[in-house]
Amino acid sequence: MFDKKQVRIKDYFLKHKVAISFFVLLYVISSIATFFAILFFANAVEQLTLGNYIETINIFIIATIIIVFAILTWYLSEICYSNFSLKIMSQLNSDLARQTFNLKSKTFESHNTGTFVQRIVNSPESLARSFRDIIVISTDLITELCVVVYLLVMNFYIGLVLVFAIIVCNVIDGFRLKCYKKNNNKLFKVGDKINSFTNEIIKSEKDIKSLNLENSLNKIITNEYEQYKDIKYKLLTNNMNFFVIRNIVVNIFTLVVLILGIYFLQKELITVAVFMLIYSRKESLYQIIYYLGSIKTFLIDFNKSKERILELFNNEEFATEKFGDKVLENAKGKIEFKNVAYKYQEYKYNEVKNKSYKKGSQKPERVLISENQLFTNLSFKIEPNTTVAFVGKSGSGKTTILNLLSKMYEVDSGEILIDGININDLTKESLRNNISLVNQFPYLFDMSIKENLLLSKNDATDEEIIKVLEDASLLEFVNSIPNGIDTVIGESGIKLSGGQRQRLAIARAMLKKSPIIIFDESTSSLDNFAQNKIKESIDKMKGKTTIVIVAHRLSTIRGADKIFFLDSGEIIDEGTFDELFERNEKFQSMFLVENI
């Protein structure tokens, strides 16, 4: 598990310090070669004015050789950059994706999808690109500054004007960067929101069409893009406003330098070669100012990407799961809740200025939106290899019990035991390997049927796969399609029916062979035929594993060994189906209403 204190972005770069050093060296050599080529070309012009034609040609040849050398070293530097930057991005992408596996379920509930996608996919690339741009622009800046230093040596006054111009333009650019940073932060936030909403639209395409939601959603997404456009426009126009002011100032100073150059040439205080260098490099002042501003911009981008990456390791906003060190071997599947209390709390995060942070930085403020005390003293036991069910009205706490058992949520107080061991003391592997969960809407990946099953047991044989498909009442369907188990089912199993998705998820849980299997509303959205097929699949597992079922349809849990009847976070009755139907009027009413 990662700890924010242990995560340092520079460590990713230090792993490739030799390649980075080689990249920097090559680019510096290329820039130095370019600088000397400039001097040679200026000298060639002077020799031409003196009528030394052969000497001029020789200098041109040498300058051209130097330029070709500069191009080749630049090419090698870019190859080197591509090599190490892709490795850094790949490692960061991988580590960030792995970090999301460590986050609590509540963390995902309090952030939209775009928050994670942008940080995992885009931020590492932006980080590497900004790093490269900083190195390249810094080297180019040094090259241009060498020209200024050379001119300062050749003529102090011309050099002094250039230095003064750099200072003035740098002050102007400081105001631009302040606006850029503010608008850039807003742009990232809106971008996260748009990314997440777009992802939702793509995934809910059928619902959108069937309910004719296109116009309503189009208004929402249009408003989001309008907001993004306004912020982007403000960022670009602010940049352009300052660029115009800066460029006017640069051109005025350039004119002053050229006039001074003519004056000193007339007074024979500089040579023609120096004047030609001034003339040929009249854009140097603009380039220097541009490079200085770009370095600062890229530093902002680099730090923003770094900040967004490290936020995923911030346990305050992106809380991670915590596990113990006890290993549970040969689990039997006994479950016990002892005096469990749980309060559902919802938070949001506001960014507020914090004086203890660096100037201009933001610290997320955690604000409690709502809370609901669900359990105060919940206790029950489930014996190994039995089938139990939790029933009750919506909001009574059925699904929350399953989330607490699988440690998706954490208890406020009390204990949850598996085979007598507190789940908080178990390692992640011991807990998750011994529990399988089948949701109402299980997620299946855009892979083949076989590949989806192998996720739960990567060394499973085809015989094992066929067996679980048969037990899940899915084999007949699989055999009827051309590619069989190699059929790709689409994102979230979109090419399968609801019942087929459920049965494939059950087959996946069966293949895992965990001692505890949880079914959370697994049949509530299915027709009677599909429901019966899944009920058959569950019945085949009875007595071989501990089965925990949450169901709205009471008819699906008639064969459970024990049923816990929940109301407002309390178990108000327990027993077999017949026992509860006989003595509990609320339970009886629920069943009768369902079957009217």
For residue range 250-302, list pLDDT tens digits in order. 788 888 888 888 888 888 887 777 777 677 666 677 777 778 888 888 888 88
Amino acid at the residue 173 = D
Separation of alpha carbons 572 and 568, rounded Å: 9
CA terminus-to-terminus distance, the chain: 52
Residues in the chain: 596
What is the per-residue pLDDT across 106-132, written as a single tens digit (0 to 9) for each? Answer: 788 777 777 788 888 888 888 888 888
Q: Give CA separation, 437 vs 134, 434, 510, 516, in Å.
A: 48, 10, 10, 9
What is the per-residue pLDDT across 498-522, written as a single tens digit (0 to 9) for each? Answer: 778 888 888 888 888 889 998 887 6
Say what the pLDDT of residue 471 is: 83
Least confidently predicted of 149-153, 185-189, 451-455? 149-153
| Spans of all domains in the chain | 4-311, 338-372, 379-594
Separation of alpha carbons 370 and 366, rounded Å: 12
Supply the CATH classification number for the domain 4-311.
1.20.1560.10
Residues 504, 506, 509, 513, Cα dihedral to 10°: -120
CATH 3.40.50.300 fits 379-594, yes or no: yes
The model's confidence at residue 175, banded by pLDDT at 50, 70 and 90, is: confident
The model's confidence at residue 529, banded by pLDDT at 50, 70 and 90, is: low
Least confidently predicted of 262-276, 309-323, 449-463, 469-483? 262-276
Say what the pLDDT of residue 5 is: 47
CA dihedral sign of residues 319, 321, 324, 325: negative
pLDDT of residue 198 exceeding 80: no
Percent of the chain with pLDDT over 70: 89
Three-class HEC string of 482-520: CCHHHCECCHHHCCCCHHHHHHHHHHHHHHHCCCEEEEE
Query: DSSP letters of 261-288?
Result: HHHHHHTTSS-HHHHHHHHHTTTHHHHH
| Nearest residue to 290 via CA among 150, 185, 155, 133 | 133
> What does the mean pLDDT of the chain come to?
82
Say what the pLDDT of residue 361 is: 45
